[in-house]
Structure 1
Amino acid sequence: MADNFKVLSDGKEVAHTEEPKEDGTTDLKFTGLKPNSNLKYDVYYATGGDPEKAEFSTKDTKPGAPTVQVTADDTKLFVKIVSGTNTGSTINSGKIYYTDGTTAKTMDLKPGDAGTISGLTNDTEYQVQATVTNGAGESPKSAVVKATPVAPTEPETPSEGE
């Protein structure tokens, strides 16, 4: 089926799909649009004529929940945020949430960067989650990752006479 409409933006044809409706109108659908954009199109009937002006804005969307990578060490945790799905604007920040079950704390951390949470108590389990933020807001929290800092073990020294 041939398109009934020709859509131009800055003189260039814009790919679209058309969905005729029972009331005689047609929905034009576009893919690959950037979030937070103000768009202006000239819409022509495929058979010619004067264009109709179409203007609309795209909305931004919050990112999906990221994942958090955690490695335990002596009195510290090494953490890294891995961004999840994001069809919105650029992710500009991240946050680590951690608790020992009694005290909740946070740490700002850019996604992709590694960070260290130090001053923790060995042999205490910590629960860690992360979020990321773009222009639309903060993502849901990641799944909980549990980790327990542990003091290094001393190598056994042979006793005299062995």
Structure 2
Amino acid sequence: MLEALAFIGIMATLARAAGGGLFAPRLPDKLGFVPEVLFGLMIGGGFVALHGGGLLALILSAVWAYGWMETGHGTAYTMGRQPATAQSGRKQTLSRVIDPLCEAVGAPLGGRFYCWAFMGLKGALIGLPVAPAGLLLAFLWPAAYEAGWALTERFPALRARFAATEMGEWLTGASAGLILALAL
């Protein structure tokens, strides 16, 4: 039980730092990637604990998770509440998959379907090294951002303290920590 709480706390902290909060603003610009690397190493450690392997397996699975953490989500983190942002700015890596999917099913870019599909794919790819439990992040990653928006919309006191995306970052990390605890 204590290990599960530790995983949840560590991963939530790293996810929030990866989003630019907590200690991240105090890191030199050249070290801004550190929270994502540490997040990836936690996933990589989970892979080695589950599937075996040595240092190479740890590095490869950590790089995999880190790479998908770095794909961006600026077009999807609004969970459909600000659709205009999905059509502006740089193209996100997963947009190359999600945009055609949305066009095929007639869903608007930046709408709820788009955001859930985008964040779901991102979560699944990050969690893949600790599959099968890691694949639950396909649901939990977008659900965390959705919950962040819902909580801050419903509770003004919470909204005064946290942005919806901050809540999403905390909750995605907590979800990943829970997945690690369940997987191990």
By percentage of residues, which structure has more helix?
2
TM-score if structure 2 supplies the norm length? 0.19
Q: Which has the higher contact order (CA 8 A, sep 6+)?
A: 2
TM-score if structure 1 supplies the norm length? 0.21
Greater C-alpha Rg: 1
By percentage of residues, which structure has more strand?
1
